[in-house]
Amino acid sequence: MVEHGDIRVVHRGGSKINFREPVITSDSRFLLCASGECVKVFSSSTEECIHDLRGHTDLVTGVLLKPSNHLQVYSCSADGTVRLWDFTDGILIKTYVIGYPIYSIHASAKHEGVIFVVTATVSDKRTESFQLVAVHLPQSGDQLVEARELSAVLSNVSSNPAAIDFGRGGEYIASASGLLLEVFFFKKQKAYRFSLKEDNKKGGKNTFMCISCHPKDDCIATGHEDGKIRLWRNFNHQKEYTYTTLHWHHNAVSSLCFTPEGTNLLSGGIESVLVQWRYNQESQKDFLPRLGAAITHISVSPDGELFCTSHSDNKITIIQSCVKVSAVIQGLVKGENVKTDLMVDPRSKSLVLNGKPGHLQFYSLQRDKLLYNLDIVQQEFIHELGLQQFEVVNAAFDASGSWLATVEERKQKDTELELNLKLWAFDEQTQSFVLNTTISAPHEDRITDMCLCHADESQTTVLVSTSKDGHFKAWQLAAAAHTEADEGPSWMCDFVGAYHSMVPQCCCFSADGSLLAVSFQEVVTVWSPASWELLTTLSQPPGAIRNLCFGRLSCSKYLLGTTANNLLCCWNLLTCSLEWSTSMDVSLLLADPISENMAAFCCQAGATDLFLFKPSEPRPLFSQKAVCSGKVTRAVFAPREEMLESCEESSQWLNRSQLYFLTQYMDLMTFTTKAEEDRLMAASKQLVIDDTVAMTPFYLLLGKHRQHENQVTPSDPSAEREPLPQGSVAIKELLQTPAHVLPSTSFLCSMFVRSLLISVTDTSAESKPAEEEMESEKEEEDSEGEMETSSSRPTQQTSVGVGVTESADSPALTKAQVRELRRVRKLDHSWITGLLDP
Amino acid sequence: MGEFKVHRVRFFDYMPCAISAMAFHRHSERLAVARADGAVEVFCFADNYFQEKVIPGQDGRAVEALCWVGQRLFSAGLNGEITEYDLENLRPRYTVEAYGGPIWTISSNSQGTLLAVGCDDGTVKMFEILEERIQFQRNLDRQKGRIISLSWHPSGTLIAAGMMDMIRIFDAETGHATHRLLVERGVGASKSKEVVVWSIVFLSDHTIISGDSAGKVQIWDGFTGTLVRTHLVTKWDVLALSVSQDESSLVAGTSEGTVVQFQFLSSTVDQQDKEWIRTRTFKNHSHDVRALVHTDTAVVSGGMDTQLVVRPLLDKVEKKTQESALRKIAFPHRNLVCCAKKAGLLLFQFPDHLEVWRVGESDGHGKPGDSLLVKRKPEKLIQLKTKGEDHICCSALSPCGGWLAYSTVSSVRLYRLQYNNNISITKVSRLPKELRWAHQLCFSSDSSKLFASSTHSTVIVVALNQLECKYLQTLKPKSGSRQPVHLLFASEDGKWLASANTDCEVHVYNLQKLKLHCTVPVYNSCPTAVAINPATSNLVVAHADQQIFEYSLVQKEYTEWSRKLQKQGLHSLWLERDTLITNITFNPKNPAHIILHDMFMFCIVDQSLPLPEAKAILYNQMTLRSLPEPERIRHSHAFKICKNFQHLLCVTLLEDHSLVVVERPLLEIMSQLPAPVRQKKFAT
């Protein structure tokens, strides 16, 4: 097999934001959280993702504010590196290479130049054991530093970062794993171990879940599996230690956190209630209930104003002073499993799948944001163990995205199956789906497959559903003749089909909607939707058909199917014969809607392989072994917003669409090429280059403002001219500038509005300010001349070069703008660099 | 082990009384416990929590508070009297009327010179402790409202008094109140109710800690009289407080049955500023915890549910030792059941009455484990109420069933029972004047003699016949011990009488010569049961530390078996049992069998079998049953333990070789207790 080194499986979009504890910056304006392979920076007030910190090549496993500089943040990853970022600008400052996968990161102000990371114990591979390692960060100016000075602090720690915490500003570190609490005092270099019994007499489970140390007092709070919280004191005695037990949670305490002043203790668990205990007045407690889902992490902003809870449904809630939920950041909701297929909404290009119970979620992959939830079941969800609820089990879009069909079912006993088929029309006015028809009990048994087709000639949409009751039904939109006039058209059953009383498994429309293929066990029947006659049958026994797929575009004469007997068959519909077949255990067959490509996921030896092929070609376009462990049952091709221009043969299939799939652990993964990755990296690297420029904008804008005062006023309409605002370099500059170096908004507002105005160019008007500009430029040069150093010259030259190429990209740039930009680039602001450097 | 027909007796409605007060004598490690019926018990903690002494109660004498002053024990109660006890003769020595209405509390200063009592009329009365008595000294300033609790400052200059809605601090020299600390009432509906300061503790650093009926434990500064901290511990009352001797730990008992520990801890490791922090919560009671004692290593609590609970503090004791085990003392360490072996009668002793029952009969034969059909139901023959207000301290039924004797602290009564068609009971009116009261009573096996232990460990022998009873002799031990006799045993062959006193001495008298035969070498633990094997004339003694000795009365030395047992040592599981052997009997069919029992099991010690190895399984009856016959012998050892019957008060053999097992399940005792306070339980 050809190795494709440049195509990788990555987490992109829809990754967990509740994987690790989020971090609130010291000014409470930003929220940082690990998400897949990047760190996301959210605004804590607007819930908006400001930017991603990209650079890690594996799962990010921890985010931590640098104790000595509150504007920088460490992140650690399973790729064995710790990276230091400037999170306001999204600049990677340093990369420390540790060399071992890192599971969590800890640091305290008392240990300067040292970070503590949890790595797997190297010695034995079989049992998973972890150790806490102190890493001395070398003082070096390089971007990429190898940190080789490691010293083990504690062994047999938990990989859960919530189980390790520093106490009293770094005097000691406490770690809990299993039934053992270990406290290590740095000054005395002495460790104390306290163990609990596995079960107490009343059946409580004493396993430690999480830990939090009081910031000032010597008190360690530990959360346990049976819902108890213990407050340990006097733990510098092996024998005379003591603890207080608090019990409110009825299930495991998943997170604990002391507020920065130590006046309160926050705890949360599956109850989805945030509990606030008064320190030393533990009988008084406050509750914030109904947070929606089980709490997995709690963090507090350094000023204690904001609390932040992560939830099991991939959500982060920001809470103001324990009373008010001020913001909710919702990621892709992942339940136990996805009953519906992964789908792409043709209108919004968003990923659609099961979300909250009874809902479909629309998730924008490009923006990595949950757009909205569509309530399908429209019933109150009752949290109770063992209670059967309605579940959305099937959904289908038509090609234009104007119709959505959903199936929900509830099974209480074997005999009572409740089924509802719902059809939703897209309402242009409200820009959402509106329920059009509800068909209760559309079939007598479970619906196995469903597809919608927009037939071109009749301009009607047909829905075909196959069911275990042995029939497939075609539904069509028909005007309601016999009901009241004000009701619009609704869906009716048009045709009921069956074949030798066999059970249909799957159905598929051809791309033009002229053919319908329905598989009945090992037989594929091909029907004409126009007349509902059976055209032909294809069969390749033995083995029931699992998947059916029509080829697209140039391959539309092919019909592909996979059987339970590990066979992938391709029929030619013109000859009605088998074109080719190959033996492979295909768990999922998928056609790209905008190309001929088809993807087949094969499960082999506990791992899934991917084959990408064209039905007309014998050789696969691309194949990758062991894409992920476990079986892949859900995948989708999502069209790209902008095409990639890759010429390599193996990665051409990724040019127009992207393949997303769900692993068995419900991780959404996708394939990316090296070029694409480089481009993304470049986008963040560009910011690094901008770094030298980034010092200037404050100056730039002040200078600009001054310039406007004496220049723009006389010839206002001619100052700037542009067809589209986003093409303007000035605005780009304005928007890319970090917020903290910008002058006040009122100051910028008029300038910004002016830049958006489209004005007619007047050559005479243009030349005049140009002269003035030249003058001012000279002035500036004079005043700044003595500060300039010769060494900084070349860099300025290059940056000007960049500016020129940029302006070449955007043709709307006027001469005046280019000149202004050039002038701005020439200014030396290296003195600011000197000031800002720590 | 042998097969027995078992009379499973469950008709003894023994009901222990609620614990109302406790006092701990730290020096001798003795705990005095007062019960609601006025009885006072003394437990020796050094000797495996053995209940050494029991002073019977009296009708209408509810002890509200206990106080040790040196070796002297004082109590006060709601009858308004202060009582000092004679611990040698197990009776009140004298009572003094305080003339202040009901007394709620009593407390002595640390010097042991003054006794302060808090009265219902709002006075704190000071009594001077003299050599032989106490004498009223003066009243402190009289307050409005009753004095519920008192605590002396260790220096003896100040005394804090808990009252209704407030705490007062008195200067003990001038008698004037110096501070008035107002205690906040409970919230909600209890706002209108006065808050009662049930308990108060005055620490040497002038911190005052109070527990009140609003469920608060409050910490006050005694210099300024200001409130430092409030810990809301319960929704109900905090009834008792006790502080450890080093004043680093405090326990509070609540109405919910919980005991909450507070510790004086520094907030950061190296610093000195300490504060009281609530730490552990123990829940070992179902009802109110009325009395608490914080010893150096354990928390001892008692209350409405009648059990005395010793909860060791694991940070003060070695882990996984006998000391670190939780102990619950539910039954008295002496026999309340007397069995007339020949007649098949049982005598049950209650505080204020006696019951005589005849055990049932059945003629069936069955397999082991079967329950037989009862042909004749057990029958209550006699219920005998005591005369006067004193409670029974001991009783005895003669083996033939013809004599019944009991003693209170004031008198001994002897009855003649006759069973013809109807039962007749006649009091023997003229008893010898030597027989005024007894600590223990015992009949000889032929029912011709009554033995009664008296002062200074003496035993009075009285001869009985149809017409009269005649004083024969007073048996005196040579040691001259002043302690009371708590065990008496007359051998079945009529030759020997064994007596054991709380000085750990066991004396054996020759009944034919009516003189001291020998004294068993004194062991440092108190005997809990003595018996003489009629076949071998060996004396078997079980001690409070679970040791067993066998002493040959003929050779006047320990027997071979006993030496072997001491040499090899008892099995560790045997030594770890937390209840004591309270009765020993022998199997006349097989003289090598000794039948012992404690609260949870009875055991047949087969002296002919090898002793269990240290690693052998002690409780091996079930495993033995599963083994084939030849292997069974190899695995069997001398201790055959049966746990089929639970919470045993008595196990003894009748003359027809049927076993009488008197059970009193603790659950039945629990079910007869009043309802506990309502508590919200999760998910109810």
What pLDDT, on the 0 to 100 scale, is given for residue B539? 92
Give the per-residue pLDDT at A775: 46
- β-strands A490-497, A504-509: how paired? unpaired
Q: Are residues B427 and B464 in the same domain?
A: yes
CB contact under 8 A, A216 and B267: yes
Contacting residues of B for A282, CB less than 8 Å apart: 278
- Given a contact cutoff of 8 angstroms between Cβ atoms, the answer to whether A308 and A24 are in contact is yes
pLDDT at B189: 72
Would B668 be classed as within a structural domain? no
Residues A137-143 have a mean pLDDT of 82
Residue that is written with structure tokens 């391709």 in the block: A570
Inter-chain contact B277–A233, Cβ cutoff 8 Å?
yes
Q: Are B628 and B483 found together in one domain?
A: yes
Say whether pLDDT at A77 is over 70.
Answer: yes
**In angstroms, what separates the C-alpha of A257 from chain B's closest C-alpha?**
18
Confidence of residue A109 (pLDDT cuts 50, 70, 90): confident
Strand partners, A10: A670
For residue A597, pLDDT over 90 is answered with: no
| Residues of chain A contacting residue B229, judged by C-beta atoms under 8 Å apart | 280
Q: How far apart are CA A588 and CA A584, in angstroms?
A: 11
- Taking an 8 Å cut-off on Cβ atoms, the answer to whether A233 and B279 are in contact is yes
- Considering only A482-486, B79-83, B292-296, B394-398, which range has the smallest mean pLDDT? A482-486
B248 domain-assigned: no
Residues from chain A contacting residue B680 (CB–CB below 8 Å): none
Q: What's the CA gap between A351 and A14, in Å, rounded? A: 9
Task: Place A140 in a pLDDT band, splitting at 50, 70 and 90.
Answer: confident
Measured between CA atoms, the residue of chain A closest to residue B264 is A234
Confidence of residue A174 (pLDDT cuts 50, 70, 90): very high
B573: in domain: yes
Distance CA A188, CA A204 (A): 35
Same domain, yes or no: B364 and B428: yes
CA distance B330 to chain A (A): 20
Residue B321 resides in a domain? no
| Whether residue B462 sits in one domain with residue B533 | no
Domain that holds residue B539: 477-663
Considering CB atoms only, which of B266, B268, B278 is closest to A244? B278
CA–CA separation, A101 and A84 (whole Å): 17
Query: Which residue of B268, B279, B316 is in closest CB contact with A244?
Result: B279
CA B300 to chain A, closest CA, distance in angstroms equals 19
Question: Which of A524-533, A765-774, B316-325, B553-562 comes out lowest in average pLDDT?
Answer: A765-774
Among A280, A284, A285, A384, pick the best mutation site for testing chain B contact (most B Cβ within 10 A): A280
Q: Mark out chain B residues that contact chain A at CB-CB < 8 A.
A: 229, 231-233, 261, 263, 265-269, 277-281, 315-316, 682-683
Which chain A residues are Cβ-neighbours of B265 within 8 angstroms? 233-234, 242
Q: Is residue B300 predicted with pLDDT exceeding 90?
A: yes
Mean pLDDT value of segment A644-653: 73
Which of A193, A197, A217, A285 best tests the B interface by mutation, with the highest count of B CBs <10 A?
A: A217
Q: Which residues pair with A213 in a beta bridge?
A: A220
Of the partner residues A218, A241, A280, the one whose CB lies closest to the CB of residue B268 = A218
- Whether the predicted interface score ipTM is above 0.90: no
Q: What is the per-residue pLDDT for B116?
A: 93
Helix (H, G, I), strand (E, B) or coil at B236: coil
Q: Which residue of A has its CA nearest to B234?
A: A283
**CB-CB under 8 Å, A244 with B277:** yes
Instruction: Say what the pLDDT of residue B97 is.
Output: 92
Q: Confidence class of residue B62 from pLDDT cuts 50, 70 and 90?
A: confident
Q: Do B267 and A282 touch (CB under 8 A)?
A: no
What pTM was computed for the model?
0.77
Answer yes or no: do A217 and B683 touch at CB < 8 A: no
C-beta neighbour count of B680 within 10 angstroms? 6
Q: Which of A273, A283, A284 to mutate to test the interface with B (most CBs of B within 10 A)?
A: A283
| A116 Cα to chain B: minimum distance (Å) | 23
Question: B195 is written with which tokens?
Answer: 């808050």
Residue at token pair 């006998």: B322
Q: How distant is the Cα of B315 from the closest Cα of chain A, in angstroms?
A: 5
Number of C-beta neighbours around residue A530 at 10 A: 14
Angle CA B138–B142–B144, to nearest 5: 155
- Element (DSSP H or E) covering residue A583: strand A577-583
B526 shares its domain with B583: yes
Domain boundary (B447, B475, B503) is at B475
- The helix/strand/coil state of A88 is coil
B614 or A91, greater pLDDT: A91
Q: Name every chain A residue with its beta carbon within 8 A of the beta carbon of B266.
A: 218
Residues B25 and B122 in one domain: yes
Does residue B226 sit within a domain?
Answer: no
Q: Which residue of B has its CA nearest to A243?
A: B279
pLDDT over 90 at B613, yes or no: no
Compute the distance between CA of residue A601 and CA of residue A468 in angstroms, rounded to an integer.
Answer: 25
Q: How far apart are CA A260 and CA A265, in angstroms?
A: 10
Mean pLDDT throughout A416-438? 88
Residue in A219, A239, A245 closest to B281 by CB: A245
Query: How many Å lie between the alpha carbon of B214 and the closest alpha carbon of chain A?
Result: 14
Query: Which positions in chain B touch A239 (Cβ < 8 Å)?
Result: 315
- Do residue B357 and residue B483 come from a single domain? no
List C-alpha distances in Å: B514 to A216, B19, B405, B472, B517: 78, 42, 21, 9, 9
Q: Is the pLDDT of residue A86 over 70?
A: yes
Q: What is the interface size between A and B, counted as CB pairs within 8 Å? A: 45
Regarding whether B496 and B642 lie in a shared domain, the answer is: yes
Q: Is B671 a domain residue?
A: no
Share of chain B above pLDDT 70, in %: 100
Of A236, A243, A244, the CB nearest to B269: A236
Looking at residue B32, its pLDDT comes to 94
Report which of residues A483 and A237 the model is more confident about: A237
**pLDDT (tens digit per residue) in A795-837:** 344 344 343 444 444 445 566 676 776 776 666 555 555 555 5
Across the interface, do A242 and B280 touch by the CB < 8 Å criterion? Answer: yes
Which sign does the torsion angle of CA B579, B581, B587, B590 carry? positive
Q: Give me the half-sphere count of Cα atoms (radius 13 Å) on the Cβ side of residue A420.
A: 18
Contact: A242, B315; criterion CB under 8 Å: yes
Residue A789 confidence (pLDDT) above 80:
no
The residue out of B106, B122, B140 marking a domain boundary is: B140
Cis peptide bond prior to A542, omega within 30° of 0: yes
- Which SS3 state, helix, strand or coil, does residue A279 take? coil
Exposure string for A224-250, b = 16+ CB within 10 A, e = fewer: bbbbbbbbbbbbbeeebbbbbebebbe
Q: Kindly state whether residue B604 falls inside one of the protein's structural domains.
A: yes
The rounded mean pLDDT for chain B is: 88
Which of these ranges, A815-819, B338-342, B584-588, has the smallest mean pLDDT? A815-819
Residues B467 and B489 in one domain: no
Side-chain half-sphere exposure of B508, counting CA atoms within 13 A:
25
Chain A residues with CB under 8 Å of B233 CB are 283
Ordered strands of the B459-464 beta sheet: B441-443, B449-453, B459-464, B469-475
Query: In the prediction, which pLDDT does A578 show?
Result: 86
Which residues in chain A have their CB less than 8 angstroms from residue B682's CB?
A: 250
Query: How confident is the model over A241-246, as a mean pLDDT?
Result: 88
| B634 lies in the same domain as B578 | yes
Query: Per-residue pLDDT for A791 more than 60?
Result: no
- pLDDT of residue A774 exceeding 70: no
Q: Which residues of B touch A245 (CB under 8 A)?
A: 280-281
A404 closest CA partner among A417, A412, A390, A394: A394
Per the CB < 8 Å rule, is A242 touching B263?
yes
pLDDT of residue A384: 63
Q: CB–CB of B279 and A243 under 8 A?
A: yes
Structure-model confidence comparison of residues B372 and B99, the more confident one: B99
Report d(CA A808, CA A785) in Å as an integer: 29
Partners of A168 on chain B (C-beta within 8 Å) are 268
* pLDDT value of position A456: 57
Which of B268, B269, B280 lies nearest to residue A244, judging by beta carbons?
A: B280
Cβ atoms A387, A408 nearer than 8 A? no
Q: How does residue A480 score in pLDDT terms, banded at 50, 70 and 90?
A: low
First to last CA, chain B: 48
Name the 3-class secondary structure at A519. strand
- CB A239 to CB B315 under 8 A? yes
- Chain B's closest residue to A239, CA to CA, is B315
Mean pLDDT computed over A126-148: 83
CB < 8 Å to B281, chain A: 245
User: Residue type at B1?
Assistant: M
A335-339, A756-760, B120-124, B153-157: the lowest-pLDDT one = A756-760
Task: Collect all residues from A whose CB is shorter than 8 A from any CB in B.
Answer: 168, 216-219, 233-234, 236-237, 239-245, 250, 280, 282-284
Query: Which of chain B's residues have a Cβ under 8 Å away from the Cβ of A217?
Result: 267-268
Q: Same domain, yes or no, for B580 and B641? A: yes
Cα B3 to Cα B593: distance, rounded to the nearest angstrom: 13
Q: Which one, of B51, B65, B18, lies nearest residue B37 by Cα?
A: B18
Instruction: Compare all CA atoms of chain A with the CA of B278 and give the residue at the minimum distance.
Output: A244
Residue A717 confidence (pLDDT) above 60? no
| A241 to B315: CB separation less than 8 angstroms, yes or no | yes
Judged by CB atoms closer than 8 Å, whether chains meet at A217 and B267 is answered as yes
pLDDT for A691 beyond 60: no
Of B232, B263, B268, the CB nearest to A217: B268
pLDDT digits (tens, 9 = 90+) for B501-513: 888 999 999 988 8
Tokens of B141: 């300033």
> What 8-state DSSP symbol labels residue B373?
P
What is the rounded distance in angstroms from the CA atom of residue A38 to the CA atom of residue A196?
Answer: 38
Contact A168 B268 (CB under 8 A): yes
- The overall average pLDDT reported for chain A is 79
Among A358-372, B292-306, B446-460, whose mean pLDDT is lowest?
A358-372
When scoring B268, B311, B318, B326 by the number of chain A Cβ atoms within 10 A, the one with the most, hence best to mutate, is B268
Same domain, B370 and B492: no
Decide which of B500 and A777 is more confident.
Answer: B500
The CATH number of whichever domain residue B522 belongs to comes to 2.130.10.10
- Count of the separate structural domains present in chain B: 3
Are A299 and A253 within 8 A, CB to CB? no
| The domain boundary residue, chosen from B434, B456, B475 | B475
B305 within domain boundaries? no
DSSP A646-662: ---GGGGGGTTEEEEEE
